[in-house]
Structure 1
Amino acid sequence: MIRVGIFGATGYAGYELLRWLRRHPEVRVVFAASESSAGASLADVIPGPLDTPLIAPDEAPLGDVDLVFLALPHGAAGKMARRARAAGVRVIDFSADFRLATPESYRRWYGHDHPAPELLPAPYGLPELNRAALRGAMLIANPGCYPTGMLLGVAPLLMAGALTDPLIIVDAKSGVSGAGRAPKQNTHFVEVNENLAPYSIGQVHRHVGEMRQEAQRIARGVAPEIVFTPQLLPVSRGILSTIYLRIPDDWSEDRVRALYREQYADEPFVRVLSAGALATLGHTTDTNVCAISLTLARPGLLIVVSSEDNMVKGAAGQAIQNMNLMFGLDETTGLV
């Protein structure tokens, strides 16, 4: 039995993680911590079935757990990871603190010094593309929700060296839960309802650094350039990424689909859709699956649509997938 603790249990990702861990046969949740709601029951803070007592982070009994999940803001997560690792506890971090490989890259994208540079680099927790590095790891950086869908959507072509142009254009639409539970003006119901709002477009969104780093790691002879347009969709959860890629003019859609199906043939959580089908949010809601559709718009121009649930494959489900690898369990345990 894996004994785990959760920091940030009242956030969307932390709450989703606790919900999924309840069904995991090899896990016992020892504690759930919350800075803002310590001393309360989770059911009193968030109406629902999870009646779990909440403790203050400083009171967390690290000596009683094998693993902690950090569903904390960047900066705070890195400090807690240092404390957990000093206590000999394994860490899966939901924040951005360990996704970028160097302190310099982190400072560039997040604007301040890294809180625990001695723990870098950490394995990047996208199992389909980095599985070997995750088995037995002591610290795993859970990927961002946007990069998960984007990277799974382009990886087969990057790994085959099949892009004829390094420019990758990503138009991604996310449910409001991706913005976190803390209230902001642009996430109020009146602002979001019946609206579709782009933000941080071009090459300024912080996830671009993560996307670029991992795309370059898996690409063969290509340094991809990513133009990213995230948009806030008036739904609770889900991400739909539409990705535009240049491929050889003589590649048919059937050839591309064969490449994707070969790449993901043994992946339980990636579904390559049949010809004519287009990925939608409905393909993946409340699952740990990434669904991918492929459309050849004209010779040489491929449109990939990648769908995922930002709270599951984009956060809590992927963290459980990483935990299973970390502890040598079947990867699908607790997720199917």
Structure 2
Amino acid sequence: MTYSIAILGASGYTGAELIRLIAVHSSLKITALGAFSKAGQSVAQVFPHLRHLDLPTLLQIDQIDFANIDLCFCALPHKTSQSVIAALPPDLKVVDLSADFRLRDPDDYEKWYGNKHSALTQQAEAVYGLTEFYRDDIKTARLVAGTGCNAATGQYMLRPLIAAGVIDLDNIILDLKCAVSGAGRSLKENLLHAELSEGYHAYATGSTHRHLGEFDQEFSQIAGRPVQVQFTPHLIPANRGILGTGYLRGDAAQIHDTLSQAYANEPFVDVLPLGQTPSTRHVRGSNFCHIGVVADRQPDRALVVAALDNLTKGSSGQALQNANLMLNIEETEGLMMAPLFP
């Protein structure tokens, strides 16, 4: 069976990544593409690397007929998805890639994003989209809220360890290096080549990064008590990838064994042999996440390092993985491509 798909926000990085992935999917056909400023243009005009594909012209969202659409991906900016998704047909399956439906508590959303939520009915029904941990809920969901790419990286490292009680919950430090595509495609002075290249810097330091809301929500739920990690993201002059390092108090061998068991049957999460660490170059352009564990020189301390592609496993690949489950398609369909190397 072939399902008809719409992508809203198709002119951004995550929209382009969705098109790239769905183009080789055996059961999905892109029927409609929505955009704002680039409406009326062809995909070849917006993304020349996709010019070989037979795709519909980009339309304004209100020009799209959703009557025969089976599932819609919303790759729209934060704060935009709320009104758009609220106006979609109520029986249409939706995978949202923005931050608008990730936080369950409306007060938490207002705290981290600075405005009241305007689609509370949809927020209440949204299922958090970290596939490996919400698989059963995603299968029956109408609306799935994709995670933040930083939030996904940190959770792959820590969720099994918090659940198993093998680390000190009050001594968790997360240090993430993030590629520039995570900031989106819109023009920003600080993302110009001359401003960004030949250096990297910390940003959203202290308690300001919005993905802390996801960490607080998910880690506290697992532990059954408040858990607040110390988290600093750094912007690096690379196009794709996130490399996360967790500084933890716990036994490295036990941590490694816990992660290995947790992901033993997961097709996209690989735990490396104890003592090895991953690289973003080994997951680029793929839906894989690699995790390594190293013992620190100080007893009872360990490092956990994770690498994933922020546009694929951290966003569009995760979205497609969730869509497969929602449509009762093999979860790995369209996602088993090997990473690009070199």
TM-score range, shorter chain: over 0.9
**Which residue is equivalent to 2:320?**
320
What is the SS of the residue equivalent to 1:64? Answer: coil
CA distance in 2, matches of 1:207, 1:256: 24
**Which residue is equivalent to 1:310?**
310
TM-superposed deviation, 1:3: 1.0
**Which residue is equivalent to 2:277?**
278
Does the 8 Å contact 1:167/1:224 carry over to 2? no
2:77 to 62, 65, 73: 73
Residues 1:31 and 2:32 aligned together: yes
1:130 to 134, 137, 140: 134
Residues 1:185 and 2:189 aligned together: yes
Letter of the 2:70 counterpart:
D
TM-superposed deviation, 1:275: 2.1
TM-superposed deviation, 1:227: 1.5
Identity of aligned residues (%): 38
CA distance in 1, matches of 2:89, 2:295: 47
Residues 1:231 and 2:230 aligned together: no
TM-superposed deviation, 1:30: 0.6
Does the 8 Å contact 2:270/2:289 carry over to 1? yes
**Which residue is equivalent to 2:340?**
none
**Which residue is equivalent to 2:209?**
205
- Output one character per residue of 1:244-277: Cα deviation in whole Å (capped at 9) or x when no partner: 1112xxx3x3332221111101100100011221
**Which residue is equivalent to 1:301?**
301
What is the SS of the residue equivalent to 1:167? Answer: coil
More moved, 48-57 vs 191-200: 48-57
**Which residue is equivalent to 1:116?**
119
CA distance in 1, matches of 2:89, 2:79: 16
CA distance in 2, matches of 1:16, 1:271: 22
TM-superposed deviation, 1:78: 1.2
User: RMSD across aligned C-alpha pairs, in angstroms?
Assistant: 1.2
TM-superposed deviation, 1:184: 0.7
CA distance in 2, matches of 1:108, 1:223: 17
What is the SS of the residue equivalent to 1:292? Answer: strand
> Any gaps of 5 or more consecutive residues in structure 1?
none
TM-superposed deviation, 1:167: 3.2
Which ranges of 4 or more aligned residues in structure 1 deviate by more than 6 Å? Answer: none
Does the 8 Å contact 2:6/2:30 carry over to 1? yes
Letter of the 2:22 counterpart:
L
**Which residue is equivalent to 2:335?**
335
The within-5 A match list for 1:30-109 is: 30-50=31-51, 52=55, 53-86=57-90, 88-109=91-112
Does the 8 Å contact 1:90/1:139 carry over to 2? yes
> Any gaps of 5 or more consecutive residues in structure 2?
337-342
TM-superposed deviation, 1:158: 0.5
TM-score after normalising by structure 1: 0.95
CA distance in 2, matches of 1:240, 1:152: 12
2:222 to 209, 218, 221: 218
Does the 8 Å contact 2:166/2:255 carry over to 1? no
Letter of the 1:22 counterpart:
A
More moved, 41-50 vs 67-76: 41-50
Does the 8 Å contact 1:82/1:119 carry over to 2? yes
What is the SS of the residue equivalent to 2:103? Answer: coil
CA gap 1:223/1:245 in 2 versus in 1, 3 angstroms: farther
TM-superposed deviation, 1:49: 2.3
TM-score after normalising by structure 2: 0.94
